[in-house]
Structure 1
Amino acid sequence: MKQQYSNHKKYYPPHHFIFLPMMLLLMIIGVRQTFRDEPHQLEWLLFSIVCFCIFYLALMLRQHYALGNQNRIVRLEFRLRYFELFGKPSKQTEDKLSFNQIAALRFADDEEFKVLLDRSIKENIGGDEIKLSITNWQADDMRV
């Protein structure tokens, strides 16, 4: 399938469609049982709290490490691409852009990159608007 704005998000099925729903279901069961099983109310409450903590940590740690690394790579790709297209360092230009703008620009081909980069600086358009403006979408199939 050709990547474009409508399908550019990536999911990791064991995490997003098995582990997280299972933890959510366990939390729901725990909370429900907390109110239904009064003799074991404290145990079910503790079970629910532990499930929530595991769910939260799994969600946040996976995202934190993966996205932190990915964000560094996206910035490095921007600097390299800018240098390849303009023959000069990107420091001054990069300082005028938000990370969302930089990340969105990576989906544009070289000609659109130049135009959208200029618009991003002059009109301060956001990352989503940049993505929606791209007509020749360049897929990024290797991201986390």
Structure 2
Amino acid sequence: MKEQSYENHTRYQPLQHFVWLPLSFLLLIETVVYAVIEFINYGFSLHLLLLVGVVILAIIPGMLARIYAITLQDRLIQNEEQLRYFMLAGKGLDNRLTKEQMIALRFASDTEFVELVNRTIEENLSPEDIKKSIKIWRPDHHRV
């Protein structure tokens, strides 16, 4: 696998990002345009309302599946980083860290993790600043 770094750590799911999302967007736009044209030409029709509703309902499950997966993954990352900090520092992780900060800290190697956690707490680093501060990148190839 390609070595991960700040510049290339973003992950895309080709089927979702380049097929499902664009096609869903196009389908929704086309359906709304069709419904507006039909409404202008023939007036209100329950079929038009149902058509738009069905298209919207067809898109929602894909969005929810992604949201649920990311939410669960974020909770797992938080637990992993709390355990990792305890194993390396011998004490619990400070509650002042936000979820986003902990998720960014997961990329830090063990050698710099505790120091970067302390610096993050002291300076209230943003997730972006945390990632830019990492010297030895710990890859996460399993991100959803």
TM-score class normalised by the smaller sequence: 0.7 to 0.9
Q: For structure 1, list consecutive stretches of 5 or more residues without a partner in the other structure.
A: none
Q: CA deviation at 1:24?
A: 1.1
CA contact (8 A) 1:31 1:45 kept: no
TM-score normalised by the chain length of structure 1: 0.84
CA offset digits 1:77-98 (Å, max 9, x no partner): 1122112211x241xx331211
- Percent identity of the aligned residues? 36
**Counterparts of residues 36-75 of structure 1 (less than 5 Å):** 36-37=37-38, 38-39=41-42, 42=45, 43-59=47-63, 61-75=64-78
Change in Cα spacing, 1:22 to 1:100, as seen in structure 2 (3 Å) is same
Instruction: List structure 1 runs of 4+ shifted beyond 3 angstroms.
Output: 40-46
CA offset digits 1:12-36 (Å, max 9, x no partner): 2222222222121111111111232
CA offset digits 1:46-98 (Å, max 9, x no partner): 32333233323421x12332122212211221122112211x241xx331211
AA partner of residue 122 (structure 1)? E
Aligned pairs, number: 140
Aligned to 1:112: 112
Task: Give distance in 2, aligned partners of 1:64 and 1:17.
Answer: 17
CA contact (8 A) 1:26 1:48 kept: no
Residue 81 of structure 2 is aligned with which of 47, 69, 78? 78
AA partner of residue 134 (structure 1)? I
**Counterparts of residues 1-144 of structure 1 (less than 5 Å):** 1-37=2-38, 38-39=41-42, 42=45, 43-59=47-63, 61-86=64-89, 88-90=90-92, 93-144=93-144
AA partner of residue 8 (structure 1)? H
Task: Give distance in 2, aligned partners of 1:8 and 1:26.
Answer: 31
Task: Give distance in 2, aligned partners of 1:10 and 1:22.
Answer: 20
AA partner of residue 94 (structure 1)? D
* Higher mean displacement: 69-78 or 40-49: 40-49
Task: Give distance in 1, aligned partners of 2:125 and 2:138.
Answer: 19
